[in-house]
Amino acid sequence: MIDHDNLEEYSDPIHYDLEFGGETKKYQFYLDSAKEMPGTVLELACGTGLVTLPLAEAGIAIVGVDIAEPMLAYARVKGQGLPAHFIQADARTFQSDQRFSLIYLTGNAFQAFLSDEDQLALLRTVHQHLQPGGRFIFETRNPAATDLSDEEESPWSTFTDQDGQLVQVSGSQTYDASRSIMHWVTYRTWPHKRTISRIACRFTDHDALIELLTSNGFEIQHQYADWDRTPFVPSSDLMIMVCAKAES
């Protein structure tokens, strides 16, 4: 089951964009991937459309699905007049008669699926909605290259809010090794207030990820370490998986 705490991070879409937007290399990666697979694209866990909308602006028909309505509402405002359609749904149970040439998740959204059952439900959704030969892409942090130790609050980053104020971002982490789940607590400090949100993310190691994909109807085409398509090695921070729907 997806941890409801995870939704705390997605209640303020305007500041979410200001904090996490601007990953132009990632946007270009998915745009190039979409151009390689002509047809309609599906983004699961699309949020405010940070990646959805650059594809739509390039003329690619795309459907964005997310469970958090505040994020979708902002995506719809930003996407007016573009070939993007946004649907509120759970990626584990999403149903559509449409079939897609490319389905992707980004922002490490794969890690929000916190159990074997959740991961399998997600992969069933993807497999069901891909066209024959369609492509599935997602990225996830590599546990072998991640500090999974418990840490007290420490500074993480900063961003500038919609009023031009500097926001200090800090956080702590606690790892549940029995479930391979990291619990992060994020603190955002404005000049006049301080907010707290929690998020849980599951870490799946590389070998288990390959087994999970290949046993659920996917063929691994490429494995990258970054958005420049550097080949993945065991010490890479990121695992970007490019898969094809296997022929039955």
User: What is the reported pLDDT for 3?
Assistant: 43
Structure confidence at residue 248 as a pLDDT band (50, 70, 90): low
Mean pLDDT taken over the chain: 95
User: Which CATH number is 73's domain given?
Assistant: 3.40.50.150
Same domain, 119 and 223: yes
- Which of 42, 51, 46 lies closest to 130 in space, CA to CA? 42
The per-residue pLDDT for range 197-211, each reduced to its tens digit, is 999 999 999 999 999
Structure confidence at residue 1 as a pLDDT band (50, 70, 90): very low
User: What is the reported pLDDT for 7?
Assistant: 76
Same domain, 160 and 77: no
User: What is the reported pLDDT for 35?
Assistant: 96
Same domain, 74 and 129: yes
Say whether pLDDT at 171 is over 80: yes
Stretch 242-246: mean pLDDT: 95
CA distances from 52 to 41, 75, 104, 140, 223 (A): 9, 9, 10, 18, 22
Same domain, 189 and 227: no
Say whether pLDDT at 192 is over 90: yes
User: What is the reported pLDDT for 247?
Assistant: 76
Same domain, 132 and 156: no
Task: Name the percent of the chain lying above pLDDT 90.
Answer: 94
Same domain, 210 and 227: yes
Same domain, 17 and 116: yes
Same domain, 44 and 98: yes
The per-residue pLDDT for range 3-29, each reduced to its tens digit, is 444 678 888 999 999 999 999 999 999
| Residue 166: domain span | 145-202
Same domain, 162 and 139: no
Domains: count for the chain: 2
Say whether pLDDT at 119 is over 70: yes
- Three-state helix/strand/coil letters over the chain: CCCHHHHHHHCCHHHHHHHHCCCHHHHHHHHHHHHHCCCCEEEECCCCCCCHHHHHHCCCCEEEEECCHHHHHHHHHHCCCCCEEEEECCCCCCCCCCCEEEEECCCCHHHHCCCHHHHHHHHHHHHHHEEEEEEEEEEEECHHHCCCCCEEEEEEEEEECCCCCEEEEEEEEEEECCCCEEEEEEEEECCCCEEEEEEEEECCCHHHHHHHHHCCCEEEEEEECCCCCCECCCCCCEEEEEEEECCC
With contact defined as beta carbons under 8 Å apart, do 122 and 15 qualify? no
